């Protein structure tokens, strides 16, 4: 009896998680201007309209540029930091690790606000570059967290063996450590990409005219409701989910080997 | 050739770039924000003057909307986190103990997957779903349960639904990770000593999952209390929550010191609520 | 003294999936108060059988009776058994006192009552001062006793022990063997003990069940099992044996006469429990310590001249390896074998009573 109840509740949870997204996807195929259920007539016209929407392409391009760059740079910084934090044994190491992951526990709106005020003081132009800088504040700690997990399982004797055979630290890093870390590196890049690609509030605070995709959705929703937003939402959902799938696959494969 | 010791000596150098980055773009801006909350807005209202004052704090406490918004944020957060914890625990327990082993990862994936998409898209999809013309309302109307309006969207019931699902995901993942790691023979020993499924849960599973659960609660609190998107998209624009007041004072009133003051209270609240939870959650065995 | 109860296992079978049979139509009756050991290599089904008695594993087929009552479908929390795990399974978040008192708490005792009883139990296991500590602060031996106390305090009529000494070092292990045996006699309840350690089984048990592939290979007292192993598997699992093959040429009431290419004629005891066919090939076993050398070998029914190859010192005694023919080696044990030089010719011999005919294993 109790187990049946647990199964029923869990099934309800799954419904609650997926029904809205299914609704979104269904509405992207409706012909009506405003979403109405049950759907009366089906059409691909909003997909067609989006196809011709210049602003959508700009926003998409901007998002890909920022997310692509930031996820790679953040992973590089995170890799070096995670390597140092697991490899060396100086005093205050755990305090430093703690400091480096604190940004993950600060609301994004606070990161956005503080950076906006900070940049404004220096009269910095708010464009894609500031969005990049802002996203990195969250993404560097995220990469450290992801990569540290795999570094902790690294057999350090391999590194010592390479030193012993005459390889320098940099060479060892590239030839011994990096190949072993590859699944986590790929996972880190992909997860960071989806974070940046989906992130709204920091981007919204830190750019004026060069908008990213989430900002485009936001303005389409709030300023002038545009049914194309269902289509964008559907595309963003499918894209993010497939990238996240790749990331988890890569991380999992790494854990098995 | 260098000696082995020489090559091993400075591996900490790698942490420096990330450290500098986070110092410049995280620690200093946040500290600066706290400082700005004690500065003055110029009479024209566009610049901040580095003149020390407590006026922002004064004004903060004397504005009734602030107090209402603060309390509203607290109770929205409280309900969202509580619902998330209860249902997250139920889901994690079901995956870990009732699902056959080969389906467990799939179960976890099902709860995580929707969260790898934009929060805006998700909040918006909830709006579509809960709308007066959406599937839920028309379903309830067609079976005769509902006659008038559903009245969920544009009230904070919608906000709580959206946020609690977020908490549910966090709680499920962290609780699942912890209870999956509980040695099965501890549960068997408890059963063998006379425990029913409920007493085993209460006496063994719950206390042992507390380290993971406490972190999930703290994280959920931070996300809910600081969220701007869900209250705006789902909660309507009238009953403002604390984060909305903060954003409004910056983007609409251009009152930077006042926005900074909100930020200070946001930080303090998070610190005061989450720190005890995390400290209580530390393993003491 | 607690009340002991007898156990009856009738055709107990455990299948995992479609083709893995962990325990196969197992029959056994265990009188109350017995110290019974399930002995066997890993994967023989002994732990699965124990877990089925505890109720932690469902029985695929057959019945389990405790005190004449069918408990097959009854969950572990309502069985009169208590299990002790190999790694003790102490609750890490509870103090030692709470751990021991846990079973009593679940039986509805008040806090002061169960704490008092738990403290009495701590006194009983001679660790009166550790009640406030947590399991992580105890040594292996202490944990072992606490786990025992936690199982005993709920007064089960059967105590199930799953390799409880496996995690201890050799010294402590030997001490605990003595203690466990004494404790079992004192409390008087039925103990079912699982181990893969033959020495442990021999020194503690009233009766041993040697298990293999989910079935009982042999059931008997330690003495019977040691002196008269029924099969080659048992002979080799319990102590060490020299096994040789011969052809049966004559059978009398008490003896079996075989021919062997190296030893010539061999006289062995005619086994009870199964019959030997004239003309068939049988396996026979002789323990290394029953083989005498040189002067001692004179007058024994079986024997040959062999060459000493190597020697191993094993504490109280010595063992040496001798080659009988080019491809056949024997192990001989005794205080005097150390005196022999390598490659020396040695006369070995043993009496007919010490040569056992083994039953075929695949039947």
Sheet containing C7-16: give its strands across: C20-30, C7-16, C61-66, C69-70
The answer to whether A140 touches B22, Cβ cutoff 8 Å, is: yes
Whether the pLDDT of residue C206 is over 70: the answer is yes
Q: How far is B124 from chain A (nearest CA, A)?
A: 8
Q: What's the CATH number of domain C7-232, 3.30.9.40, 3.30.70.270, 3.40.50.10860, 3.40.50.300?
A: 3.40.50.300
B203 chain-C contacts, CB cut-off 8 A: 91, 102
- Per the document, the length of chain C is 363
Nearest to B18 among A20, A81, A217 (CB): A81
Region of poorest pLDDT, from A2-16, A149-163, C189-203: A149-163
CA distance A131 to A196: 9
Mean pLDDT of B55-69: 92
Tabulate helix, strand, coil % of chain B (nearest 5): 75, 0, 25
**Confidence band for B268, pLDDT divided at 50, 70 and 90:** very high
**Best to test chain B binding among C48, C77, C107, C109 (most B CBs inside 10 Å):** C77
Structural domain contains residue A48:
no
Identify the helix (H) or strand (E) that includes residue B60: helix B55-62
Mean pLDDT of A138-148: 94
Q: How far is C198 from chain B (nearest CA, A)?
A: 25
The answer to whether C356 touches C287, Cβ cutoff 8 Å, is: no
The number of folded domains in chain A is: 2
Q: What is the pLDDT of residues C317-336, one digit of tens each?
A: 888 888 888 788 888 888 77
Which percentage of chain C shows pLDDT scores above 90?
Answer: 56
Whether the pLDDT of residue B184 is over 60: the answer is yes
Q: Does B7 touch chain C (CB under 8 A)?
A: no
The pTM for the full model equals 0.85
* Cβ neighbours for A212, distance < 8 A, ≥ 6 positions apart: A59, A62, A63, A66, A128, A131, A203
DSSP string, B221-283: HHHHHT--HHHHHTS-SSS--HHHHHHHHHHTS--HHHHHHHHHHHHHHHHHHHHHHHHHHS-
**Confidence band for C298, pLDDT divided at 50, 70 and 90:** confident
- Report CB contact under 8 Å: B188, C106: no
Query: What is the pLDDT, as a whole number, of residue C195?
Result: 95
CA-closest candidate to residue B22, choices C109, A77, C245, C299: A77
- Report CB contact under 8 Å: B193, C82: yes
Q: Does C52 touch chain B (CB under 8 A)?
A: no
Q: Does B264 touch chain C (CB under 8 A)?
A: no
B182 chain-C contacts, CB cut-off 8 A: none
- Report CB contact under 8 Å: B124, A221: yes
Nearest to B192 among C54, C92, C136 (CB): C54
Domain ranges for chain C: 7-232, 233-357
Q: What is the pLDDT of residues B85-110, one digit of tens each?
A: 999 999 999 999 999 888 888 888 88
- Report CB contact under 8 Å: B204, C91: yes
- Report CB contact under 8 Å: A221, B120: yes
Say if residue A23 is in the same domain as residue A79.
Answer: no
The per-residue b/e assignment along C75-98, b for 16 or more CB within 10 angstroms, e otherwise, is ebbebbbbbbbbbbbbbbbbbbbb
- Report CB contact under 8 Å: C56, B204: no
User: In the structure encoding, which two tokens stand for residue B116, read together?
Assistant: 């790898």
Q: How far is B72 from chain A (nearest CA, A)?
A: 18
User: In the structure encoding, which two tokens stand for residue A3, read together?
Assistant: 């187990």
B281 chain-A contacts, CB cut-off 8 A: none
CA distance B119 to B180: 28
The per-residue b/e assignment along B55-68, b for 16 or more CB within 10 angstroms, e otherwise, is bbbeebeeeeebee
Output the CATH code of domain B76-253. Answer: 1.10.3720.10
Whether the pLDDT of residue A18 is over 50: the answer is yes
DSSP single-letter state for residue B152? -
Q: What is the pLDDT of residues A31-66, one digit of tens each?
A: 887 777 777 788 888 898 888 889 999 999 999 999
The per-residue b/e assignment along C150-186, b for 16 or more CB within 10 angstroms, e otherwise, is bbbbbebbbbbbbbbbeebeeeebeebbebbbebbee
Mean pLDDT of C39-62: 93
For chain A, positions 90-129, list CB contacts with chain B under 8 A: 90, 96, 99-100, 102-103, 105-111, 113-118, 120-121
Query: What is the pLDDT, as a whole number, of residue C248?
Result: 92
Q: Does B280 touch chain C (CB under 8 A)?
A: no
DSSP single-letter state for residue B119? H
Domain ranges for chain B: 76-253
Tabulate helix, strand, coil % of chain C (nearest 5): 30, 35, 35
CA distance A106 to C154: 50
DSSP single-letter state for residue B94? I
Sequence-separated contacts (24+) of C115-119 with Cβ below 8 Å: C117/C153, C118/C149, C118/C153
Give the largest CA-CA distance in chain A: 73
Mean pLDDT of A234-244: 85
Q: Which residue has the higher pLDDT, B277 or A250?
A: B277
Say if residue A9 is in the same domain as residue A37.
Answer: yes
Nearest to B33 among A20, A114, A214 (CB): A114
* Domain of residue A203, CATH code: 1.10.3720.10
Query: What is the pLDDT, as a whole number, of residue C27?
Result: 95
Neighbours of chain C (3+ CB pairs under 8 A): B
Pairing status of strand C190-195 against strand C35-39: parallel
The answer to whether A42 touches A29, Cβ cutoff 8 Å, is: yes
- Report CB contact under 8 Å: B189, C83: yes
From the CB of residue C344, how many other CB atoms can be counted at a distance below 10 Å?
12
DSSP single-letter state for residue B132? T
Nearest to B222 among A105, A214, A217 (CB): A105
Mean pLDDT of A228-235: 88
Say if residue A26 is in the same domain as residue A64.
Answer: no
Collapsing DSSP to helix, strand or coil, A162 comes out as helix
DSSP single-letter state for residue C159? E
B19 chain-A contacts, CB cut-off 8 A: 81, 96, 100
Structural domain contains residue A235:
yes
Q: Which residue has the higher pLDDT, B17 or B117?
A: B17
Pairing status of strand C242-251 against strand C255-260: antiparallel
DSSP string, C318-361: EEEEEEEETTEEEEEEETTGGGSPTT-EEEEEE-GGG-EEEPPS
Q: Which residue has the higher pLDDT, B214 or B42?
A: B214
Q: How far is A14 from chain B (nearest CA, A)?
A: 7
Query: What is the pLDDT, as a whole number, of residue A252?
Result: 76
Structural domain contains residue A46:
no
The answer to whether B154 touches B240, Cβ cutoff 8 Å, is: no
Answer whether C7-232 and C233-357 agree in fold. no
B191 chain-C contacts, CB cut-off 8 A: 56, 75-77
Say if residue A126 is in the same domain as residue A76.
Answer: yes
The answer to whether C14 touches C52, Cβ cutoff 8 Å, is: yes
CA distance A119 to A117: 6
**Confidence band for A166, pLDDT divided at 50, 70 and 90:** confident
Mean pLDDT of B78-84: 97
Query: What is the pLDDT, as a whole number, of residue B9?
Result: 59
**Confidence band for A255, pLDDT divided at 50, 70 and 90:** low
Structural domain contains residue A47:
no
Whether the pLDDT of residue A161 is over 80: the answer is yes
* Cβ neighbours for C49, distance < 8 A, ≥ 6 positions apart: C9, C12, C14, C23, C26, C38, C211
Helices (H), A2-53: 2-27, 45-51
* Cβ neighbours for B199, distance < 8 A, ≥ 6 positions apart: B190, C106
Kindly report the backbone phi and psi dihedral angles of residue C8, in degrees, each rounded to the nearest multiple of 5, phi listed first: -130, 125
Q: What is the pLDDT of residues C110-121, one digit of tens each?
A: 999 999 999 999
Q: Which residue has the higher pLDDT, C52 or B252?
A: C52
- Report CB contact under 8 Å: B191, C89: no
Query: What is the pLDDT, as a whole number, of residue B3?
Result: 47
Query: What is the pLDDT, as a whole number, of residue C113?
Result: 94
Contacts A–B by Cβ distance under 8 A = 233
- Residue C40, classified by CB atoms within 10 Å of its CB into exposed (0-12), middle (13-18) or buried (19+), is buried
Q: What is the complex's ipTM, to 2 decimals?
A: 0.89
Please calculate the CA angle C349-C350-C355 and round it to the nearest 5 degrees.
135
* Cβ neighbours for B14, distance < 8 A, ≥ 6 positions apart: A80, A81, A83, A84
Structural domain contains residue A1:
yes
Q: Do chains C and B touch (3 or more CB pairs under 8 A)?
A: yes
Q: Does C17 touch chain B (CB under 8 A)?
A: no
Say if residue A86 is in the same domain as residue A9.
Answer: no
Mean pLDDT of C126-153: 92
Region of poorest pLDDT, from A39-43, B217-221, C246-250: A39-43
Mean pLDDT of C269-288: 88
Please calculate the CA angle C253-C255-C256 and round it to the nearest 5 degrees.
115
DSSP string, C6-70: -EEEEEEEEEETTTEEEEEEEEEEE-TT-EEEEE--TTSSHHHHHHHHHTSS--SEEEEEETTEE
Q: Does B222 touch chain A (CB under 8 A)?
A: yes
- Report CB contact under 8 Å: C135, B183: no
User: In the structure encoding, which two tokens stand for residue B31, read together?
Assistant: 């500290």
Q: How far is A41 from chain B (nearest CA, A)?
A: 15
* Whether domain C233-357 has CATH 3.90.1150.10: no
Domain that holds residue A17: 1-41
Whether the pLDDT of residue A113 is over 90: the answer is yes
Mean pLDDT of A144-149: 91
State the sign of the Cα–Cα–Cα–Cα dihedral B219, B225, B226, B228: positive
Say if residue A102 is in the same domain as residue A3.
Answer: no
Please calculate the CA angle C286-C290-C291 and round it to the nearest 5 degrees.
85
What phi-psi label fits residue C7: left (phi over 0), alpha (psi between -120 and 50 degrees) or beta? beta
Q: How far is B150 from chain A (nearest CA, A)?
A: 14
How far is residue A225 CA from its own chain's centroid? Answer: 26
CA distance B128 to B137: 10
Q: Does A139 touch chain B (CB under 8 A)?
A: no
From the CB of residue B110, how many other CB atoms can be counted at a distance below 10 Å?
18
**Confidence band for B2, pLDDT divided at 50, 70 and 90:** very low
- Report CB contact under 8 Å: B114, A217: no
From the CB of residue A3, how many other CB atoms can be counted at a distance below 10 Å?
11
Q: How far is C5 from chain B (nearest CA, A)?
A: 17
Q: Does A78 touch chain B (CB under 8 A)?
A: yes
Q: Work out the mean pLDDT of chain B and round it to a whole number.
A: 89
Give the largest CA-CA distance in chain B: 85
Neighbours of chain A (3+ CB pairs under 8 A): B
The per-residue b/e assignment along B221-258, b for 16 or more CB within 10 angstroms, e otherwise, is bbbbbbbbbbbbbbbeeebbbbbbbbbbbbeeeebbbb
Say if residue A124 is in the same domain as residue A223.
Answer: yes
Say if residue A37 is in the same domain as residue A59.
Answer: no
DSSP single-letter state for residue C212? E
The answer to whether C293 touches C348, Cβ cutoff 8 Å, is: yes
Mean pLDDT of C163-178: 87
Q: Which residue has the higher pLDDT, A236 or A257?
A: A236
- Report CB contact under 8 Å: B25, A217: no
The answer to whether A130 touches A119, Cβ cutoff 8 Å, is: yes
Mean pLDDT of C4-13: 92
Kindly report the backbone phi and psi dihedral angles of residue C181, in degrees, each rounded to the nearest multiple of 5, phi listed first: -65, -40
Query: What is the pLDDT, as a whole number, of residue A1?
Result: 59
Query: What is the pLDDT, as a whole number, of residue A257?
Result: 55
Q: Does B168 touch chain A (CB under 8 A)?
A: yes
B194 chain-C contacts, CB cut-off 8 A: 77-78, 103, 106-107, 154
């Amino acid at each position: 009896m109790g187990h049946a109840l647990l199964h029923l509740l869990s099934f309800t949870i799954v419904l609650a998680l997926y029904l809205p997204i299914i609704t979104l996807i269904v509405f992207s195929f409706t012909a009506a201007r405003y979403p109405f259920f049950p759907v009366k007539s089906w059409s691909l016209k909003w997909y067609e309209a989006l196809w011709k929407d210049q602003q959508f392409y700009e926003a998409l391009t901007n998002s890909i540029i920022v997310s692509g760059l930031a996820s790679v740079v953040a992973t590089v910084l995170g890799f070096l930091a995670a390597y140092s934090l697991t490899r060396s044994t100086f005093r205050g190491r755990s305090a430093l690790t703690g400091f480096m992951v604190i940004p993950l526990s600060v609301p994004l709106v606070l990161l956005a606000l503080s950076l906006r005020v900070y940049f404004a003081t220096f009269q910095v132009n708010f464009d894609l570059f500031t969005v990049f800088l802002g996203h990195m504040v969250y993404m560097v700690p995220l990469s450290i967290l992801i990569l540290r997990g795999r570094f902790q399982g690294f057999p350090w004797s391999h590194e010592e063996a390479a030193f012993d055979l005459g390889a320098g630290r940099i060479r060892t890093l590239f030839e011994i450590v990096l190949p072993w870390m590859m699944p986590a590196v790929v996972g880190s890049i992909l997860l960071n990409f989806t974070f940046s690609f989906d992130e709204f509030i920091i981007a919204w605070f830190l750019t004026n005219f060069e908008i990213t995709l989430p900002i485009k959705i936001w303005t389409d929703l709030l300023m002038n409701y545009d049914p194309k937003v269902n289509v964008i939402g559907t595309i963003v959902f499918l894209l993010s989910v497939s990238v996240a799938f790749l990331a988890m696959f890569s991380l999992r494969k790494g854990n098995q080997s | 050739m260098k000696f082995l010791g020489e090559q091993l000596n400075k591996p900490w150098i790698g942490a420096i770039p990330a450290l500098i980055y986070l110092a410049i773009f995280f620690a200093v801006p946040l500290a600066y924000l706290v400082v700005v909350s004690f500065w003055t807005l110029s009479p024209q209202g566009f610049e901040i003057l580095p003149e020390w004052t407590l006026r922002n704090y004064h004004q903060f406490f004397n504005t009734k909307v602030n107090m209402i918004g603060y309390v509203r944020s607290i109770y929205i957060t409280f309900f969202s986190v509580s619902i998330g914890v209860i249902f997250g625990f139920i889901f994690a327990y079901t995956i870990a103990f009732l699902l056959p082993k080969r389906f467990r990862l799939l179960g976890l994936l099902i709860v995580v997957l929707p969260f790898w998409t934009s929060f805006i898209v998700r909040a918006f999809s909830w709006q579509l779903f809960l709308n007066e013309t959406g599937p839920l309302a028309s379903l309830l109307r067609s079976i005769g349960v509902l006659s008038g309006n559903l009245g969920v969207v544009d009230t904070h019931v919608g906000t709580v639904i959206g946020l609690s699902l977020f908490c549910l995901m966090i709680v499920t993942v962290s609780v699942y990770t912890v209870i999956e790691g509980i040695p099965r023979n501890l549960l068997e020993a408890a059963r063998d000593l006379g425990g029913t499924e409920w007493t085993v849960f209460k006496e063994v599973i719950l206390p042992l999952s507390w380290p993971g659960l406490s972190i999930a609660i703290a994280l959920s609190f931070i996300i809910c209390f600081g969220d701007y998107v869900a209250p705006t998209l789902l909660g309507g624009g009238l009953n403002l929550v604390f984060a909305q007041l903060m954003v409004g004072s910056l983007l609409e009133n251009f009152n930077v010191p006042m926005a900074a003051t909100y930020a200070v209270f946001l930080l303090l609240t998070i610190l005061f609520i989450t720190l005890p939870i995390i400290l209580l959650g530390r393993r003491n065995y | 003294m607690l009340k002991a109860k007898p156990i009856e296992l009738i055709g107990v079978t455990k299948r995992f999936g479609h083709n893995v049979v962990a325990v196969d139509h197992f029959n056994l009756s265990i009188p109350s108060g017995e110290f019974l050991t399930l002995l066997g290599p890993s994967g023989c089904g002994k732990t699965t059988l124990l877990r089925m008695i505890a109720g932690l594993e469902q029985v695929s087929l057959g019945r389990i009776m405790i005190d004449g009552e069918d408990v097959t479908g009854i969950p572990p929390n309502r069985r009169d058994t208590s299990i002790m795990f190999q790694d003790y399974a102490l609750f890490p978040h509870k103090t030692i006192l709470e751990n021991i008192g846990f079973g009593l708490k679940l039986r509805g005792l008040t806090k002061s009552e169960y704490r008092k009883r738990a403290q009495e139990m701590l006194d009983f296991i001679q660790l009166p001062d550790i009640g406030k500590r947590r399991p992580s602060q105890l040594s292996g031996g202490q944990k072992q006793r606490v786990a025992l106390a936690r199982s005993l305090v709920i007064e089960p009529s059967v105590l199930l022990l799953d390799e409880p000494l496996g995690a201890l070092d050799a010294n402590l292990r030997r001490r605990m063997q003595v203690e466990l045996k004494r404790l079992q006699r004192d409390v008087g309840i039925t103990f079912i003990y699982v181990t893969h350690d033959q020495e442990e089984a021999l020194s503690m048990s009233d009766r041993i069940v040697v298990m293999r592939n989910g079935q009982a290979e042999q059931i008997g007292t330690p003495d019977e099992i040691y002196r008269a192993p029924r099969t080659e598997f048992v002979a080799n699992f319990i102590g060490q044996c020299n096994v040789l093959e011969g052809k049966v040429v004559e059978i009398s009431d008490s003896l079996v006469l075989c021919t062997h290419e190296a030893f010539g004629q061999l006289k062995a005891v005619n086994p009870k429990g199964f019959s030997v066919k004239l003309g068939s090939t049988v396996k026979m076993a002789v323990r290394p310590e029953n083989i005498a050398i040189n002067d001692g070998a004179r007058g024994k029914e079986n024997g040959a001249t062999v060459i000493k190859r190597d020697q191993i010192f094993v504490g109280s005694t010595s063992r040496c390896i001798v080659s009988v023919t080019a491809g056949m080696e024997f192990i001989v044990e005794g205080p005097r074998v150390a005196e022999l030089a390598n490659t020396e010719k040695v006369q070995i011999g043993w009496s007919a009573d010490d040569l056992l005919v083994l039953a075929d294993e695949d039947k």
